[in-house]
Amino acid sequence: MLITGIVITICVLIEYTALLIFSEFATLTYNTGAAFGMFRERPEIAFILSAVSFLALLAVCIFMKLKLWTRIGISIMAGGALSNMLERMFLGHVVDWIPFIFVKDLMFNLADVEIAAGALIILWSFTQKD
């Protein structure tokens, strides 16, 4: 139940926050591809990768015995993956609006932040005792 709540909360917060920011402040870019624009010419592959990633994260979280913080990290990643998947499903692309400071013309979105944050939490959880 905790995992489902985290996934849904992350996804809803991402989409709600994005709507608020889109309407007022952000420069938007539309990415039909996957990470760093891979498969830009084949958006259906990006969608399939999003769906498989989300389902794999969910399956790992549900069926494997994991530490609490590992589950939380995976849940946060799954919420970000779900958000990107839904944007691809309904819009045909993800909307990136956060500029990456160190690389010119590279943008990302809040779902990408959640995926990275979840990965960091998982790595941190591996350093903790059971």
Catalytic residues: 96, 112
Q: Of 29, 25, 47, nearest to 38 (Cα)? A: 47
Distance from chain centroid for Cα 92: 16
Distance from chain centroid for Cα 122: 15
Q: What is the largest CA-CA distance in the chain?
A: 45
